[in-house]
Amino acid sequence: MSRIALPQYLANADVAPELQSIILGLADVSINISKSLAKGALAGILGAAGAENVQGEDQKKLDVIANDMIKDALAAIPAVRGLASEEETDVVPCHTNGSFLVTFDPLDGSSNIDINSMVGTIFSVLPHSGTEVVTEQDFLQPGRHQSAAGYVLYGPSVMLVLSIGKGVVMFTLDQDVNNYLMTDAEVAIPADAKEFSINMSNQRHWVAPMQDYIADLMAGKDGPRGKDFNMRWVAAMVADVHRILCRGGLFTYPWDSRKPDQAGKLRLMYEANPMGYLVEQAGGEVWTPDGKILDIQPEHIHQRVPVILGAANEVALCVDYHQR
Ligand code: AHG
Ligand code: MN
Ligand code: MN
């Protein structure tokens, strides 16, 4: 069976050549990142980098390596007006004629690096319509404005999952020829869920409605939901959302009373918005307790947000517990 390669998909879908160049550039650099990850300890790239990022988190060597690789790749693409990364304090201006801005999480799930577990790269492409030399202000667009979004999952196989606003497609890396080939043309999340995903160890720090909602899931057949739920937590948003795109379910990372001034753990512009765009494009829902995430007007490139996403009916119910 002959499969459609990523460049062919983009051409068939009439994606603007500038946008194609960005998606293909990200795909190429992700292949190089996957090779570094595969070498692991042999390449001496595991462990801490010995520095902190702007969010006060300890950087792993691979956070820095992946960030530098993606930054260099994007800076070489004329269509990129500017970029913003989890691992960069400020936005980085690129080409003054570029039409697009790119935000990215170079390595998502960093705590999995040293245990040879799944990690990913998340990216979001926004149109540029602001100043000649980009400023942070130019990036502060609602997720609804994204021109494309996606992620690469570095798992047993390397997969690139993409939306250009025409549904969600999945590609798998053919490692022999370094080509991403389409392996799922129409990703859809069922409206009802059988599985949920949350870091249960934080339970006592959530708001009461979230505690009540999860308690009712945990009560299974004997509780108000009248059915049993399964639970999974990979500790890499990419991998948890990938599972939801493959077989459904609900994912949430709620607000936590230990950091009352922090809206949540996940970052709006390079985690929640791109993953949210994919989930909505696959028929799912993406909310905070107060409203749809893709409608949020960002105030800062590194701002955080509580996230409830996945199966439409389950997300609606979880939000309803908060709004009752
Ligand atoms: P990152 O490695 O880019 O900082 O993101 C990690 C995030 C997200 O991917 C994941 O869902 C969550 O942190 C895991 O958090 P816990 O450590 O609470 O499990
Ligand atoms: Mn992340
Ligand atoms: Mn990261």
Q: Is 256 in the pocket of ligand 1 (CB under 6 A)?
A: no
The reply to whether 152 and 241 lie within a common domain is: no
Domain limits at 135? 6-184
The reply to whether 18 and 167 lie within a common domain is: yes
Residue 190 lies in a domain: no
> Which of 253, 270, 305 best tests ligand 1's pocket when mutated (most atoms within 8 Å of CB)?
253
Residue 1 lies in a domain: no
Task: Pick the ligand that lies closest to the CA of residue 110.
Answer: 1
The reply to whether 254 and 288 lie within a common domain is: yes
**CATH classification of the domain holding 142:** 3.30.540.10
Q: Which residues contact 83 (CB under 8 A, 6 or more apart)?
A: 71, 74, 75, 91, 92, 94, 101, 102, 103, 104
The reply to whether 135 and 232 lie within a common domain is: no
**Looking at the 3D structure of the chain, how many domains does it have?**
2
The reply to whether 264 and 287 lie within a common domain is: yes
Nearest to 303 by CA among 148, 143, 151, 165: 143
Average pLDDT, the chain: 96
Q: Is 117 in the pocket of ligand 1 (CB under 6 A)?
A: no
Q: What is the pTM of this model?
A: 0.97
Q: Which of 156, 184, 212 is the last residue of a domain?
A: 184
**CATH classification of the domain holding 315:** 3.40.190.80
Nearest CA to ligand 1 atom 12: 235
The reply to whether 23 and 172 lie within a common domain is: yes
The reply to whether 158 and 225 lie within a common domain is: no
Contact 115, 41 (CB under 8 A): no
The reply to whether 137 and 264 lie within a common domain is: no
What does the pLDDT look like over 11-27, one tens digit per residue?
A: 999 999 999 999 999 99
What does the pLDDT look like over 66-79, one tens digit per residue?
A: 999 999 999 999 99
The reply to whether 165 and 31 lie within a common domain is: yes
What does the pLDDT look like over 36-66, one tens digit per residue?
A: 999 999 988 888 888 888 888 888 889 999 9
Residue 95 lies in a domain: yes
Q: What is the mean pLDDT of residues 280-289?
A: 98
Residue 267 lies in a domain: yes
